[in-house]
Amino acid sequence: QTIYILNGPNLNLLGKRQPEIYGRETLADVERLCREVLADGTDLRMMQSNWEGQIVDWIHEAREAAAGIVINPGALTHTSVAVLDALNAFERPVIEVHISNVHKRESFRHHSYVSLRADGVIAGLGIEGYVAAVRRLCTLLG
């Protein structure tokens, strides 16, 4: 089985943009750390797009191809009914991850459309949040 790790806008710049908020590690580092905790027989696909429609398409693809989704929607978290609707059409576990503690930041980051669907939400653990999310999915998927 395969876990999809989906990343939204600007997360391609992870490690470079606002390192005081998001740290200096890259998405490649995140992938490496997540692979270390994967259960036997489970694989992952790390994806990132700056395009809302691409994220929606990957969630649709996941309906056939993924046992669970870890998603950091970036700013789409706070704006996208389309991402929420796509996740509502996905019938397996979803964990939402934010590298920063969004609740400690601007008030527009306090609301998440995706949290209406997510089975778990992690914020403020840095990139360790992805690792925790992958562990949790592996537990849920047995």
Question: Catalytic site residues?
Answer: 22, 98
- Of 46-75, binders to ligand DQA (CB under 6 A) are 72, 74-75
State in angstroms the smallest separation of the CB of 11 from ligand DQA: 6
State in angstroms the smallest separation of the CB of 76 from ligand DQA: 8
Please check if 99 is assigned to a binding site: yes
State in angstroms the smallest separation of the CB of 6 from ligand DQA: 12
CB atoms within 10 A of CB 8: 23
Please check if 100 is assigned to a binding site: yes
Q: Which of 48, 49, 80, 100 binds ligand DQA (CB under 6 A)?
A: 100
Cα gap 94→4, rounded to integer Å: 10
Sheet strand arrangement including 68-72: 43-48, 2-7, 68-72, 94-98, 120-123
Cα gap 96→98, rounded to integer Å: 7
3-state secondary structure of 71: strand
Binding site for ligand DQA (CB under 6 A): 10, 72, 74-75, 77, 98-100, 102, 109
